[in-house]
Amino acid sequence: MFIEVEALEKTFTIRKRAGLLRREKREVRAVDGISFGIGKGEMVGYIGPNGAGKSTTIKMLTGILTPSGGRLRVAGIDPSRDRTRLAHRIGVVFGQRTTLWWDLPLRDSYALVHRMYRIPDTRFAENLARCVDLLDLGELLDVPVRQLSLGQRMRGDIAAALLHDPDVLYLDEPTIGLDVVSKAKVREFLRELNATRGTTVLLTTHDLTDIEQLCSRVMVIDHGRLMYDGGLAGLHEAGESERSLVVDLARETAPIEVPGARFVRAEGPRQWLALPASASAAPVVAAVAAAYPLVDLSVREPDIESVIAKMYGGTGGTPRAAGESVR
Protein backbone atom coordinates (compact mmCIF):
# COMPACT_ATOMS: atom_id res chain seq x y z
CA MET A 1 0.00 0.00 0.00
CA PHE A 2 1.23 3.46 -0.83
CA ILE A 3 -0.51 5.15 2.08
CA GLU A 4 -0.86 3.02 5.21
CA VAL A 5 -2.87 4.20 8.17
CA GLU A 6 -3.38 1.98 11.20
CA ALA A 7 -5.40 2.86 14.29
CA LEU A 8 -4.48 6.51 13.78
CA GLU A 9 -5.42 8.90 16.59
CA LYS A 10 -5.14 12.59 17.31
CA THR A 11 -6.32 14.09 20.55
CA PHE A 12 -6.21 17.81 21.22
CA THR A 13 -6.19 18.99 24.79
CA ILE A 14 -7.94 22.27 25.34
CA ARG A 15 -7.64 24.15 28.64
CA LYS A 16 -10.55 26.37 29.42
CA ARG A 17 -11.29 28.67 32.32
CA ALA A 18 -14.25 27.24 34.24
CA GLY A 19 -14.70 29.83 36.98
CA LEU A 20 -12.38 32.21 38.77
CA LEU A 21 -9.65 29.75 39.74
CA ARG A 22 -10.66 26.49 38.20
CA ARG A 23 -9.40 25.41 34.83
CA GLU A 24 -11.05 22.65 32.96
CA LYS A 25 -9.11 20.29 30.76
CA ARG A 26 -11.06 19.04 27.83
CA GLU A 27 -9.97 16.47 25.31
CA VAL A 28 -11.12 16.51 21.72
CA ARG A 29 -10.56 13.27 19.88
CA ALA A 30 -10.36 14.72 16.39
CA VAL A 31 -9.26 11.38 14.89
CA ASP A 32 -10.32 8.36 16.89
CA GLY A 33 -8.58 5.22 15.65
CA ILE A 34 -8.94 5.04 11.88
CA SER A 35 -7.31 2.51 9.56
CA PHE A 36 -7.11 2.43 5.78
CA GLY A 37 -4.73 1.73 2.95
CA ILE A 38 -4.54 3.53 -0.37
CA GLY A 39 -2.83 1.94 -3.35
CA LYS A 40 -0.66 3.80 -5.84
CA GLY A 41 -2.77 5.57 -8.45
CA GLU A 42 -6.01 5.44 -6.49
CA MET A 43 -8.27 8.47 -6.40
CA VAL A 44 -10.13 8.51 -3.11
CA GLY A 45 -12.74 10.90 -1.75
CA TYR A 46 -12.58 11.74 1.94
CA ILE A 47 -15.82 13.21 3.17
CA GLY A 48 -17.68 14.00 6.36
CA PRO A 49 -19.50 16.83 8.13
CA ASN A 50 -17.71 19.90 9.56
CA GLY A 51 -15.41 18.99 12.41
CA ALA A 52 -15.38 15.29 11.51
CA GLY A 53 -11.58 15.08 11.46
CA LYS A 54 -10.74 15.34 7.75
CA SER A 55 -8.24 18.19 7.93
CA THR A 56 -6.61 16.69 11.01
CA THR A 57 -6.07 13.43 9.09
CA ILE A 58 -4.58 15.29 6.11
CA LYS A 59 -2.32 17.31 8.40
CA MET A 60 -0.98 14.07 9.89
CA LEU A 61 -0.50 12.60 6.42
CA THR A 62 1.60 15.62 5.43
CA GLY A 63 3.59 15.64 8.67
CA ILE A 64 2.26 19.01 9.89
CA LEU A 65 0.71 17.29 12.93
CA THR A 66 2.15 14.39 14.94
CA PRO A 67 -0.34 11.60 15.69
CA SER A 68 -1.23 10.84 19.32
CA GLY A 69 -1.39 7.14 18.49
CA GLY A 70 -1.33 4.58 15.70
CA ARG A 71 0.92 4.09 12.73
CA LEU A 72 1.25 6.05 9.53
CA ARG A 73 3.35 5.64 6.38
CA VAL A 74 3.26 7.54 3.10
CA ALA A 75 5.51 6.10 0.38
CA GLY A 76 7.27 4.20 3.18
CA ILE A 77 7.99 7.45 5.04
CA ASP A 78 6.81 8.34 8.55
CA PRO A 79 5.46 11.86 7.86
CA SER A 80 6.07 13.48 11.24
CA ARG A 81 9.63 12.12 11.48
CA ASP A 82 10.75 12.84 7.98
CA ARG A 83 8.65 15.73 6.82
CA THR A 84 11.27 17.22 4.50
CA ARG A 85 11.88 13.97 2.64
CA LEU A 86 8.14 13.46 2.36
CA ALA A 87 7.65 16.98 0.97
CA HIS A 88 9.38 15.88 -2.24
CA ARG A 89 6.85 13.10 -2.72
CA ILE A 90 3.62 14.95 -1.98
CA GLY A 91 1.71 17.96 -3.25
CA VAL A 92 -0.88 19.77 -1.17
CA VAL A 93 -3.64 22.14 -2.25
CA PHE A 94 -5.86 23.90 0.27
CA GLY A 95 -8.88 25.49 -1.39
CA GLN A 96 -9.21 28.15 1.28
CA ARG A 97 -5.57 29.21 1.44
CA THR A 98 -2.98 29.84 -1.20
CA THR A 99 0.61 28.67 -1.19
CA LEU A 100 1.47 31.24 -3.85
CA TRP A 101 3.19 34.53 -3.10
CA TRP A 102 0.46 37.12 -3.04
CA ASP A 103 2.34 40.04 -4.59
CA LEU A 104 4.29 38.07 -7.18
CA PRO A 105 3.19 37.01 -10.63
CA LEU A 106 2.51 33.28 -10.92
CA ARG A 107 5.70 32.86 -12.95
CA ASP A 108 7.85 34.10 -10.04
CA SER A 109 6.05 31.87 -7.55
CA TYR A 110 6.81 28.91 -9.78
CA ALA A 111 10.46 29.95 -10.06
CA LEU A 112 10.65 29.87 -6.26
CA VAL A 113 9.09 26.40 -6.18
CA HIS A 114 11.66 25.38 -8.80
CA ARG A 115 14.51 26.40 -6.50
CA MET A 116 12.94 25.25 -3.26
CA TYR A 117 12.49 21.69 -4.51
CA ARG A 118 15.65 21.73 -6.62
CA ILE A 119 13.70 20.50 -9.63
CA PRO A 120 15.97 19.72 -12.62
CA ASP A 121 15.57 22.49 -15.24
CA THR A 122 14.23 20.36 -18.10
CA ARG A 123 11.78 18.55 -15.82
CA PHE A 124 10.56 21.88 -14.46
CA ALA A 125 10.12 23.35 -17.94
CA GLU A 126 8.18 20.26 -19.08
CA ASN A 127 5.92 20.19 -16.04
CA LEU A 128 5.24 23.90 -16.22
CA ALA A 129 4.41 23.74 -19.91
CA ARG A 130 2.02 20.88 -19.29
CA CYS A 131 0.23 22.62 -16.42
CA VAL A 132 0.04 25.91 -18.33
CA ASP A 133 -1.51 24.08 -21.24
CA LEU A 134 -3.99 21.89 -19.35
CA LEU A 135 -4.94 24.46 -16.73
CA ASP A 136 -5.13 27.33 -19.18
CA LEU A 137 -2.60 29.48 -17.35
CA GLY A 138 -0.86 31.02 -20.37
CA GLU A 139 -2.37 34.49 -20.05
CA LEU A 140 -2.07 34.52 -16.29
CA LEU A 141 1.62 33.83 -15.75
CA ASP A 142 2.57 37.50 -15.48
CA VAL A 143 -0.36 38.59 -13.35
CA PRO A 144 0.24 39.08 -9.59
CA VAL A 145 -1.62 36.45 -7.62
CA ARG A 146 -3.72 39.00 -5.75
CA GLN A 147 -5.27 40.09 -9.05
CA LEU A 148 -6.40 36.59 -10.01
CA SER A 149 -9.99 35.41 -9.62
CA LEU A 150 -10.60 32.54 -7.22
CA GLY A 151 -10.82 29.99 -10.03
CA GLN A 152 -7.64 31.28 -11.68
CA ARG A 153 -5.82 31.29 -8.35
CA MET A 154 -6.93 27.73 -7.64
CA ARG A 155 -5.60 26.54 -11.01
CA GLY A 156 -2.37 28.38 -10.23
CA ASP A 157 -2.17 26.64 -6.87
CA ILE A 158 -2.75 23.20 -8.36
CA ALA A 159 0.07 23.78 -10.84
CA ALA A 160 2.39 24.90 -8.02
CA ALA A 161 1.67 21.67 -6.13
CA LEU A 162 2.59 19.54 -9.13
CA LEU A 163 5.79 21.09 -10.51
CA HIS A 164 8.00 18.76 -8.46
CA ASP A 165 6.24 15.60 -9.73
CA PRO A 166 4.69 14.40 -6.48
CA ASP A 167 3.41 10.82 -6.25
CA VAL A 168 0.54 11.89 -4.02
CA LEU A 169 -1.70 14.92 -4.21
CA TYR A 170 -3.82 15.95 -1.24
CA LEU A 171 -6.61 18.30 -2.14
CA ASP A 172 -8.64 20.01 0.53
CA GLU A 173 -11.80 21.54 -0.98
CA PRO A 174 -10.23 22.24 -4.40
CA THR A 175 -13.47 23.45 -5.97
CA ILE A 176 -14.81 25.54 -3.10
CA GLY A 177 -16.26 28.86 -4.31
CA LEU A 178 -15.56 28.13 -7.99
CA ASP A 179 -18.07 28.67 -10.76
CA VAL A 180 -19.34 25.75 -12.82
CA VAL A 181 -16.84 26.23 -15.66
CA SER A 182 -13.83 26.46 -13.34
CA LYS A 183 -15.01 23.41 -11.40
CA ALA A 184 -15.27 21.41 -14.61
CA LYS A 185 -11.76 22.51 -15.63
CA VAL A 186 -10.24 21.48 -12.32
CA ARG A 187 -12.00 18.11 -12.36
CA GLU A 188 -10.98 17.43 -15.94
CA PHE A 189 -7.37 18.23 -15.07
CA LEU A 190 -7.36 15.92 -12.04
CA ARG A 191 -8.85 13.08 -14.05
CA GLU A 192 -6.17 13.53 -16.69
CA LEU A 193 -3.39 13.74 -14.12
CA ASN A 194 -4.51 10.54 -12.46
CA ALA A 195 -4.96 8.67 -15.74
CA THR A 196 -1.71 9.68 -17.40
CA ARG A 197 0.71 9.99 -14.49
CA GLY A 198 -0.85 7.60 -12.00
CA THR A 199 -0.78 10.26 -9.30
CA THR A 200 -2.49 9.07 -6.13
CA VAL A 201 -5.16 11.58 -5.11
CA LEU A 202 -6.86 12.06 -1.76
CA LEU A 203 -9.67 14.55 -2.08
CA THR A 204 -11.58 16.27 0.70
CA THR A 205 -14.68 18.08 -0.42
CA HIS A 206 -18.16 19.20 0.47
CA ASP A 207 -19.11 19.17 -3.20
CA LEU A 208 -20.31 15.66 -3.76
CA THR A 209 -20.24 16.09 -7.52
CA ASP A 210 -16.44 16.15 -7.18
CA ILE A 211 -16.64 12.68 -5.67
CA GLU A 212 -19.20 11.40 -8.14
CA GLN A 213 -17.14 12.55 -11.09
CA LEU A 214 -13.67 11.68 -9.85
CA CYS A 215 -13.55 8.94 -7.25
CA SER A 216 -14.41 5.28 -7.46
CA ARG A 217 -13.78 4.94 -3.76
CA VAL A 218 -14.99 7.09 -0.92
CA MET A 219 -14.20 7.14 2.78
CA VAL A 220 -16.70 8.74 5.12
CA ILE A 221 -15.53 10.04 8.48
CA ASP A 222 -17.68 11.24 11.34
CA HIS A 223 -16.69 12.00 14.94
CA GLY A 224 -13.13 10.97 14.08
CA ARG A 225 -14.16 7.47 13.03
CA LEU A 226 -14.35 5.85 9.63
CA MET A 227 -18.02 5.16 8.96
CA TYR A 228 -17.68 3.82 5.45
CA ASP A 229 -14.93 2.84 3.04
CA GLY A 230 -15.90 1.51 -0.36
CA GLY A 231 -17.46 2.25 -3.73
CA LEU A 232 -20.09 4.85 -4.42
CA ALA A 233 -22.74 2.22 -5.14
CA GLY A 234 -22.17 0.63 -1.75
CA LEU A 235 -22.52 4.02 -0.13
CA HIS A 236 -26.04 4.28 -1.48
CA GLU A 237 -26.85 0.88 0.02
CA ALA A 238 -25.27 1.73 3.35
CA GLY A 239 -27.37 4.89 3.47
CA GLU A 240 -30.48 2.94 2.45
CA SER A 241 -31.00 5.51 -0.23
CA GLU A 242 -34.09 5.71 -2.35
CA ARG A 243 -34.72 6.57 -5.96
CA SER A 244 -37.65 8.71 -6.74
CA LEU A 245 -40.13 8.09 -9.46
CA VAL A 246 -41.95 11.11 -10.86
CA VAL A 247 -45.20 9.96 -12.44
CA ASP A 248 -47.33 12.19 -14.69
CA LEU A 249 -50.91 10.95 -15.03
CA ALA A 250 -53.65 11.97 -17.48
CA ARG A 251 -55.73 13.22 -14.54
CA GLU A 252 -55.67 13.49 -10.78
CA THR A 253 -56.16 10.10 -9.08
CA ALA A 254 -55.97 8.69 -5.58
CA PRO A 255 -52.38 8.08 -4.35
CA ILE A 256 -50.74 5.35 -6.41
CA GLU A 257 -50.50 2.03 -4.64
CA VAL A 258 -48.19 -0.51 -6.27
CA PRO A 259 -45.93 -3.21 -4.76
CA GLY A 260 -42.29 -2.20 -4.21
CA ALA A 261 -42.88 1.56 -4.06
CA ARG A 262 -44.09 4.08 -1.52
CA PHE A 263 -46.32 7.08 -2.25
CA VAL A 264 -44.55 10.30 -1.25
CA ARG A 265 -46.68 13.22 -2.44
CA ALA A 266 -48.93 14.49 -5.21
CA GLU A 267 -49.36 17.81 -7.00
CA GLY A 268 -52.40 17.64 -9.27
CA PRO A 269 -51.86 14.85 -11.81
CA ARG A 270 -48.16 14.50 -10.86
CA GLN A 271 -47.17 12.04 -8.14
CA TRP A 272 -43.87 11.16 -6.51
CA LEU A 273 -43.05 7.62 -5.43
CA ALA A 274 -39.96 6.26 -3.68
CA LEU A 275 -38.31 2.89 -4.09
CA PRO A 276 -35.06 1.39 -2.73
CA ALA A 277 -32.05 2.40 -4.87
CA SER A 278 -30.84 -1.19 -4.87
CA ALA A 279 -34.08 -2.53 -6.43
CA SER A 280 -34.99 -2.46 -10.11
CA ALA A 281 -37.52 0.19 -11.12
CA ALA A 282 -38.90 -1.88 -14.01
CA PRO A 283 -41.59 -3.88 -12.11
CA VAL A 284 -42.82 -0.71 -10.40
CA VAL A 285 -43.04 1.14 -13.72
CA ALA A 286 -44.94 -1.79 -15.25
CA ALA A 287 -47.37 -1.95 -12.33
CA VAL A 288 -48.06 1.80 -12.53
CA ALA A 289 -48.55 1.65 -16.30
CA ALA A 290 -50.99 -1.28 -15.95
CA ALA A 291 -53.23 0.28 -13.32
CA TYR A 292 -53.06 4.07 -13.84
CA PRO A 293 -53.53 6.50 -16.77
CA LEU A 294 -49.80 7.02 -17.24
CA VAL A 295 -48.61 9.87 -19.48
CA ASP A 296 -44.97 10.24 -18.58
CA LEU A 297 -42.52 8.96 -16.01
CA SER A 298 -38.97 9.70 -14.93
CA VAL A 299 -36.60 8.13 -12.44
CA ARG A 300 -34.34 10.30 -10.29
CA GLU A 301 -31.25 8.73 -8.82
CA PRO A 302 -30.47 9.61 -5.20
CA ASP A 303 -27.71 12.13 -4.67
CA ILE A 304 -24.93 11.24 -2.27
CA GLU A 305 -25.78 14.22 -0.11
CA SER A 306 -29.06 12.71 1.00
CA VAL A 307 -27.45 9.29 1.40
CA ILE A 308 -24.80 10.69 3.68
CA ALA A 309 -27.33 12.74 5.61
CA LYS A 310 -29.09 9.46 6.38
CA MET A 311 -25.84 7.83 7.46
CA TYR A 312 -25.26 10.67 9.88
CA GLY A 313 -28.62 9.96 11.42
CA GLY A 314 -30.62 12.62 9.67
CA THR A 315 -28.46 15.57 10.63
CA GLY A 316 -28.17 16.47 6.97
CA GLY A 317 -24.46 17.02 7.32
CA THR A 318 -24.89 19.96 9.65
CA PRO A 319 -21.93 20.88 11.85
CA ARG A 320 -21.22 18.60 14.75
CA ALA A 321 -18.27 18.51 17.11
CA ALA A 322 -15.95 15.52 17.11
CA GLY A 323 -16.19 13.06 20.01
CA GLU A 324 -15.45 15.07 23.13
CA SER A 325 -14.87 14.05 26.70
CA VAL A 326 -14.61 16.30 29.75
CA ARG A 327 -11.99 15.57 32.35
Ligand X SMILES: Nc1ncnc2c1ncn2[C@@H]1O[C@H](COP(=O)(O)OP(=O)(O)OP(=O)(O)O)[C@@H](O)[C@H]1O
- Per DSSP, helices labelled H in 117-171 are 121-134, 150-162
Site membership for ligand X, residue 25 (CB under 6 A):
no
Q: Are 74 and 81 in contact (CB under 8 A)?
A: no
Asked whether position 227 contacts ligand X by CB under 6 A, the answer is no
Contacts with ligand X, 33-72, as mask; x by CB under 6 A: ---------------x-xxxxxxx----------------
| By CB under 6 A, residue 250 contacts ligand X | no
Q: Is 202 in the site for ligand X (CB under 6 A)?
A: no
The interface with ligand X within residues 108-147 (CB under 6 A) comprises none
Nearer to ligand X, 298 or 325 (CB): 325
Task: Supply φ then ψ for residue 178, to 5 degrees.
Answer: -90, 150
Binding mask 1-20 for ligand X (x = CB under 6 A): -----------x-x------
**Which alpha helices (H) appear in the chain, and where do they start and end?**
54-62, 83-87, 106-116, 121-134, 150-162, 180-197, 208-214, 232-238, 282-291, 304-311
Smallest gap from residue 166 Cβ to ligand X (A): 21
220 near ligand X (CB under 6 A): no
Using an 8 Å Cβ cutoff, are 191 and 199 in contact?
no
219, 46 contact by CB (below 8 A): yes
Q: HSE, CB side, 13 Å, CA atoms: give it for residue 83.
A: 9
CB of 47 to ligand X, least distance (A): 9
| Residue number with CB closer to ligand X (52 or 219) | 52
Q: Which is nearer to ligand X, 28 or 304 (CB)?
A: 28
Which of left, alpha, beta for 77 (phi over 0: left; psi -120 to 50: alpha)?
beta
Residues that bind ligand X (CB under 6 A): 12, 14, 28, 30, 48, 50-56, 321-322
